[in-house]
Amino acid sequence: MAETALVTGASSGLGEQFARQLAERGYELILVARRKERLDKLAGELPTTAHVIECDLANEADELFGKVSKLGVDVDLLVNNAGFGNHARFLDIEPASDAEMVRVNCEAVVILTHAFLPAMVERGRGGVITVASTAGFQPLPYETTYSASKAFADTFMNALHVELKGTGVKALSVNPGPVPTEWQGIAKIPEASIPPGSISAEECVAQSLKAYDRGKRSVVPGFLIRNMMRLNAPAPAGIKLRVTERMYRPPEG
């Protein structure tokens, strides 16, 4: 019997790639996002059974478990991929937008993991993959709430990985660097602010799934960005903040 993976934010970018590559591995899919028409199109292209659930995780995360239960399938792999960011001075950002980001990037991850993890532990198999970001490895001026939300996601998954040892259930934190997707446009990030070392969404997901297969706790997909993060780690926090402030500073006007 095929295993089933639930992928949030499956309508584009990394979520779409997780769906495609997991389908190629023989998983049945539960595709979750706000844009149902995109999910329907993707479901029709996958070589497997794919269920579509329209859901706004900013406001409906606690309703998703009930919707999935009506499908009569067990979730063997939860991919917490949905998320968004913004790029501006904190005082220029609408408070409601920042609050919504925290609900999607942090709260929904906790709600869905609480909802689907117990049954995996009971069965003694399964896993959770959460897409965090290298943005969570240090504070980022002008992506203040976003970098904090991704630090939360990475910390949450690292601790969960340790708690799940011996249960047969895996937990992996995926920390991409720059991956060209719709994310940059939504966040309004100038091209000049995007650091080097970008890789494709396809390659990012392929490396992430390879790390999941090996039972890794965390992965930074991409050779260049992974080694940049290693070299950057020992630098004093004050110096890193000054450098990132210049790199990420929005244009005037």
Among candidates 164, 99, 89, 93, which has minimal Cα distance to 128? 164
H/E stretch holding 31 reads strand 28-33
For 20, counting Cβ atoms within 10 Å of its Cβ (0-12 exposed, 13-18 middle, 19+ buried), the class is buried
With a CB cutoff of 8 Å and minimum separation 6, the contacts of 177 are 133, 134, 195, 197, 198, 199, 220, 221, 222, 225, 228, 229
**Residue 248 a catalytic site member:** no
3-class SS of residue 62: helix
| Nearest Cα to Cα of residue 127 among 174, 60, 179, 176 | 174
b/e per residue 98-122 (b: at least 16 CB within 10 A)? bebbbbbbbbbbebbbebbbeebee
- Two tokens at 202? 């396809």
Residues 7, 22 contacting (CB under 8 angstroms): yes
Cα 205 to the center of its chain, rounded Å: 11
Query: Greatest CA span in the chain, whole angstroms?
Result: 57
Catalytic residue among 142, 146, 212, 248: 146
| Spatial distance between the Cα atoms of 36 and 21, rounded to a whole number of angstroms | 20
Catalytic machinery residues: 146
